[in-house]
A = this chain, B = another copy of it.
Amino acid sequence: MAMKLADIASLLGGTVIGDGGVEISAVAGIDEATDGDLTFVANPRYRAKIAETGASAILVPPDITAASKPLVVVSDPYVSLAKVLAILYPEEKPVPGVSEKAFIARDAVIADNVTIYPGVFVGSRARLEKGAVLHPGVFVGPGAMIGEDSVLHANVVVYRRCVVGRRVVLHAGVVIGGDGFGFANPGGSNVKVPQVGIVQIDDDCEIGANTTIDRGTLGKTWIKRGVKIDNLVQIGHNVVVGENSIIVAQVGVSGSTKIGDAVLVGGQAGLVGHITVENGAMIAAKTGVHKNVPAGAIVSGSPQMPHGEWLRVQSTLPRLPEMRKELARLVERIEGLEKKIRNNEE
């Protein structure tokens, strides 16, 4: 598939600077791009490469207005990249149909236009809405529900009674609805607390490979509309994640913690249980969050502190050994002074 640059610019609502007649057949990174490719500059650290790229044209933000190559100027090149990729690389949709090599319980309710690959298991009273796609090895437990046009990649597991909304993407190996980690008298008799709740994932969420989301002890663990979760994340029982929040890889969220809307959680951060992170907060990578985070706050460190304070502490930390020596020197100088003054007094 090939398109004229001017037509791409028009679809993106962007402005061409230079020759709009250039033919674009692919999109490539700025280092790899060659003739016929469109490339892009979203991250400022790649700007210097505009002069060197082999691309035929470049998607750029508004402050770049001249180059030796044709440009398409747009307000947010990364958003525009998303659009142009969707146009030039249309997703291959599988042909709907139910494989005879899948196992589907007799009382499961399967809508039209569902795609079920070999090796899928759909339990009793489970419900699949139209357009749902279940790749090989997917397990949908008894009474679970998969919404319209949702895609469950290979070997995804959705335990009994959990509810997955519409247009949700679950990547390979995701486990939804395993038992929450609840044991009374821990380290002693470790009495299992039955986990009788569910997981509910609302519309338009995407969950990365091998991420695990535990069912509620009671009630539900709730991932709200538009949330995007990366790979290998752990979400504990009865956690709530608010709309459009972003959780990067290997984050762990302990039981009953509530995360607001539009929160960004950096990779490998850990949140203790029973706390609240308010709307719009940002949690830096590797942060250890042990208490509530106010709306819009940025926190870092383990344990967490306000990000600005953390930056000051971290920039001072390498001086700590020198500070200790300085302290020892000061003690000596003060002793010297004290002695002199005593001598003078005598």
Inside 8 A of A231's CB, which chain B residues have their CB? 175, 178, 181, 212, 214, 234
Bound Cα distance from A189 to B244, whole angstroms: 7
Q: Are A187 and B245 in contact (CB under 8 A)?
A: yes
Whether A157 sits at the interface, judged by CB under 8 Å, is yes
* A166 on interface, CB distance cutoff 8 Å: no
Q: A231-B214, A280-B187, A331-B326 are in contact. Are A136 and B136 (CB under 8 A)?
A: no
Knowing A76-B184, A81-B184, A214-B231, say if A136 contacts B154 (CB, 8 Å).
Answer: no
Q: Specify which chain B residues have a CB less than 8 angstroms from the CB of A245 in the assembled complex.
A: 187
In angstroms, how far is the closest chain B Cβ from the Cβ of A226?
6
A86, chain B: closest CB distance, angstroms: 5
A194 within 8 A of B: yes
Q: From residue 229 to 260 of chain A, which have CB atoms closer than 8 A to chain B?
A: 230-232, 234, 236, 238, 244-246, 248-250, 252, 254
Residue A91 at the B interface, CB < 8 A?
Answer: yes
Taking a contact as CB atoms under 8 Å apart, the answer to whether A194 and B82 are in contact is: yes
Contact of A250 among B173, B234, B263 (CB under 8 A): B234
Asked if A181 and B208 make an inter-chain contact with CB atoms under 8 angstroms apart, the answer reads yes
The DSSP consensus for interface residues of chain A is loop
List, in ascending order, chain B residues with CB within 8 A of A81's CB: 184, 193
A157 to B246, CA, bound (A): 25
Say whether B321 contacts A316, CB under 8 Å. Answer: yes
Copies of this chain in its oligomeric complex: 3
* Contact of A82 (CB < 8 Å), options: B192, B244, B280, B316: B192
Chain B residues with Cβ below 8 Å from A196 are 27, 85, 89
Of B82, B236, B303, B317, the residue contacting A193 (CB under 8 A) is B82
Min CB distance, A247 to chain B, in Å? 10
> Within A186-233, which residues are at the interface with B (CB < 8 Å)?
186-194, 196, 206, 208-210, 212, 214, 217-219, 226, 228, 230-232
Known: A29-B217, A327-B330, A333-B334. 9 other contacts (CB 8 A): A29-B238, A76-B184, A82-B193, A82-B194, A86-B194, A154-B157, A186-B264, A187-B280, A327-B327
Listed from nearest, the 7 A-B pairs whose CB atoms lie closest are A139-B154, A121-B136, A178-B209, A157-B172, A103-B118, A175-B209, A85-B194
Sample (17) of A-B pairs whose CB atoms are under 8 Å apart: A32-B218, A45-B274, A85-B194, A91-B194, A139-B154, A153-B159, A154-B157, A171-B179, A175-B210, A187-B246, A187-B280, A250-B252, A285-B288, A315-B321, A319-B324, A337-B338, A341-B344
